[in-house]
């Protein structure tokens, strides 16, 4: 690990000119609080400390990060922004537009990030030509996880179509097994919804409806069919699903209480943290249909005063893009490295599938940003969609009414 903080020359200048300089420090706001997530962020804390940094942890529990984003807004509004924040997608550019982000171009250029990242990922990290965030990984959202033993005991293969999924779920229900482990939180409903939209409608439909917000796609018969499938899936969850955290839903699959979960590959971090092995204890497959929904975690630095904090930001930015960190963090997190030059030899078959599918979908033009995980839309728009998805899932609203409500909500959010 190189030891420069800022550039080596400016660090020396700072130390010489400022006797009070005590070394890099960072207060880090993140929402990695589940078992697998905590193991992952610990890797960064350890590397930061090993490089002389002092880490102040600000974890805000709540999957998907909604609570963390509320906490962030309160801190920024009170003029006391955290040094580094787990932030991603267009929210990075939204914060940049408010003039509160630090420029980390010096580190990015010194480390050659432009050559180490796929162009699509690099674009998410840039604001008006400067570097404003550092990526840690690529999570895939469109995954089905399954308990291997339950599937084999019931003669079920991993479903490759939604019809097969529905048929498998019926078989499981008849056998008294909960087919789908789900947590009734809006972001989890949205996660399932976007995989269904991709699978039922195909990548072009997903792009039109959930990225371009095209009114025709939003009100199409295909969107009706997407809500129809959501209604069917509502019948596959247990009665206690409301409010359940995503990692508790994963635990249901791990413990054999439920057969499947549809969730991004941070769920794999839970299986791994629980000592389970892919292909043996649990199975992974992309959700039925073509395409790949990506979700890139990253850190943005907020404009803060003080040499210690600024040195901390530069050190963090350098570390998260480091080769070793990208390997070890992602082995724990369930994701794959954002850097293209990290060997995948140590990664399991789910990660290998993810990397291969990311390459082939990128080639085919079907590598798509996850709307549910903040990669595709501004907050007001994704929030408007998620409100409708969740209102439909938790009521007996018809698919036609949901589609009309969706079109109206999106139109009002623009």
Residues that bind ligand BGC (CB under 6 A): 31, 37, 63-65, 139, 266, 295, 297, 373
The Cα–Cα gap between 88 and 295 comes to 8
The Cα–Cα gap between 21 and 115 comes to 33
Place of tokens 């080769």: 323
Q: Which is nearer to ligand BGC, 64 or 369 (CB)?
A: 64
Least Cβ distance, residue 404 to ligand BGC (angstroms): 29
Least Cβ distance, residue 306 to ligand BGC (angstroms): 28
Q: Which is nearer to ligand BGC, 297 or 318 (CB)?
A: 297
Q: Which is nearer to ligand BGC, 185 or 229 (CB)?
A: 185
Least Cβ distance, residue 18 to ligand BGC (angstroms): 36
Q: Which is nearer to ligand BGC, 264 or 278 (CB)?
A: 264
Least Cβ distance, residue 195 to ligand BGC (angstroms): 14
- How many other C-beta atoms can be found within 10 angstroms of the C-beta atom of residue 222? 18
Q: Which is nearer to ligand BGC, 314 or 336 (CB)?
A: 336
Least Cβ distance, residue 310 to ligand BGC (angstroms): 26
Cα dihedral sign for 161, 164, 170, 173?
negative
Written as six digits, the tokens of 148 are 């291997």
Least Cβ distance, residue 199 to ligand BGC (angstroms): 20
Least Cβ distance, residue 273 to ligand BGC (angstroms): 12
The DSSP code for 158 is P
The Cα–Cα gap between 19 and 54 comes to 18
Q: Which is nearer to ligand BGC, 139 or 392 (CB)?
A: 139
The Cα–Cα gap between 196 and 205 comes to 11
Least Cβ distance, residue 406 to ligand BGC (angstroms): 22
Is the CB of residue 225 less than 8 Å from the CB of residue 289?
no
The Cα–Cα gap between 113 and 182 comes to 38
Q: Checking phi first, is residue 129 left (phi over 0); if not, alpha (psi -120 to 50) or beta?
A: left
Q: Which is nearer to ligand BGC, 132 or 402 (CB)?
A: 132
Residue nearest to ligand BGC (CB): 266
Written as six digits, the tokens of 333 are 């997190």
Least Cβ distance, residue 398 to ligand BGC (angstroms): 30
Cα dihedral sign for 258, 159, 138, 64?
negative
Helix axes 162-174, 221-234, angle to 10 degrees: 20
- DSSP letters for 263-292: --THHHHHHHHTT--BTTTEEEEEPSSS-E
Least Cβ distance, residue 322 to ligand BGC (angstroms): 18
Q: Which is nearer to ligand BGC, 251 or 403 (CB)?
A: 251
Over its C-alpha atoms, the chain yields an Rg (Å, rounded) of 22
- How many other C-beta atoms can be found within 10 angstroms of the C-beta atom of residue 65? 24
The Cα–Cα gap between 390 and 30 comes to 25
Q: Which is nearer to ligand BGC, 266 or 302 (CB)?
A: 266
- DSSP letters for 326-374: HHHHHHHHSSB-SSTTS--TTS-HHHHHHHHHHHHHHHHT-EEE-TTTT
Cα dihedral sign for 322, 119, 90, 263?
negative
């Amino acid at each position: 690990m190189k030891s420069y903080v800022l550039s080596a020359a400016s660090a020396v200048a700072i130390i010489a000119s400022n006797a009070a300089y005590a070394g890099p420090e960072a207060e880090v706001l993140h929402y990695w609080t589940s078992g697998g997530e905590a193991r992952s962020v610990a890797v960064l804390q350890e590397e930061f400390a090993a490089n002389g940094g002092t880490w102040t942890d600000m974890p805000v529990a709540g999957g998907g990060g909604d609570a963390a984003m509320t906490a962030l807004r309160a801190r920024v509004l009170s003029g006391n922004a955290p040094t580094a924040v787990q932030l991603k997608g267009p929210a990075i550019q939204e914060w940049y537009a408010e003039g509160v982000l630090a420029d980390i171009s010096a580190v990015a250029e010194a480390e050659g990030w432009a050559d180490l990242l796929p162009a699509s990922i690099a674009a998410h990290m840039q604001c008006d030509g400067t570097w404003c965030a550092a990526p840690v990984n690529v999570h895939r959202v469109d995954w089905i996880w399954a308990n291997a033993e339950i599937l084999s005991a019931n003669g079920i293969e991993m479903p490759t179509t939604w019809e097969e999924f529905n048929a498998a779920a019926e078989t499981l229900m008849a056998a008294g097994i909960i087919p789908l482990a789900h947590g009734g939180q809006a972001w989890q409903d949205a996660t399932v919804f976007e995989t269904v939209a991709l699978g039922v409608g195909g990548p072009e439909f997903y792009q039109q409806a959930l990225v371009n917000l095209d009114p025709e796609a939003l009100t199409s018969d295909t969107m009706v069919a997407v809500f129809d499938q959501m209604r069917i899936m509502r019948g596959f969850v247990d009665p206690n699903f409301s409010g359940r955290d995503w990692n508790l839903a994963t635990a249901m699959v791990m413990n054999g209480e439920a057969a499947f979960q549809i969730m991004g590959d941070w769920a794999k971090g839970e299986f791994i943290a629980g000592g389970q092995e892919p292909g043996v204890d649990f199975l992974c497959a992309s959700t039925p249909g073509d395409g790949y929904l990506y979700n890139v975690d990253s850190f943005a630095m907020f404009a803060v005063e003080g040499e210690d904090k600024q040195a901390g930001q530069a050190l963090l930015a350098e570390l998260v893009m480091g080769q070793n960190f990208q390997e070890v963090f992602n082995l724990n997190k369930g994701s794959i490295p954002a850097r293209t030059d990290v060997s995948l030899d140590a990664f399991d078959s789910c990660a290998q599938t993810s990397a291969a599918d990311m390459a082939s979908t990128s080639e085919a033009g079907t590598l798509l940003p996850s709307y549910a995980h903040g990669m595709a839309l501004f907050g007001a728009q994704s929030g408007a969609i998620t409100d409708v998805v969740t209102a439909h899932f938790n009521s007996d609203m018809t698919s036609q009414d949901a589609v009309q409500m969706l079109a109206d909500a999106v139109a009002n959010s623009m």
